[in-house]
Amino acid sequence: MLLAHEKFLADPLAVRAALVRIEGGPLAVLAPAQRETALLVMAEVLNNVAEHAYGGGHGPVSASLWLCHGQLCGRVLDKGVVPPVFTRGNRYDPATLPEGGFGLGLIRVLTERLVQRRRLGCNVLDFRLAGHNAQDTGDSFLIRHN
């Protein structure tokens, strides 16, 4: 069941506006802990896109959240520069990361399936939230890999 789908041009104000729309509507049906985790992951991912993928410029972003088999899943698409690979095995020294650099660490901790790829000029990031089961209505949104 699709909960949220936002399209906007990446900049900090547009990211904030998208998060407010997502929180105020579609995610209101979730348990508070799941809603907070979903918003935190989306905020970190979308802010990374705005800041790094487009280098502070403006570019298109598409962000979706849905329930699939009782899990909250998400996808973010952008046409920015190719990001670094989110591998679980990498350990990061916080002292060497720019501006604290905890966004990537938070994303990795709060998701249990994080898949990124470059497809037809787009960065595609798919994730499933870790440790949260949601009440599924039986509908699901299948991620199609071409």
Measured on CA atoms in the order 24, 26, 29, 32, is the torsion positive or negative? Answer: negative
By the 8 A CB rule, do 74 and 126 touch? yes
- Tell me: pLDDT of 63 over 90: yes
d(CA 143, CA 146): 10
Q: Can you give the pTM of this predicted structure?
A: 0.79
pLDDT digits (tens, 9 = 90+) for 107-138: 888 888 888 899 999 999 999 987 655 443 33
Q: In the predicted model, what is the mean pLDDT of the chain?
A: 79
Question: What was the pLDDT predicted at 144?
Answer: 35
Identify the CATH class of 2-133. alpha beta
Question: What was the pLDDT predicted at 90?
Answer: 55
User: Which of 34-38, 53-57, 58-62, 96-100 has the least mean pLDDT?
Assistant: 96-100
Residue with token string 């998060």 = 19
d(CA 118, CA 76): 12
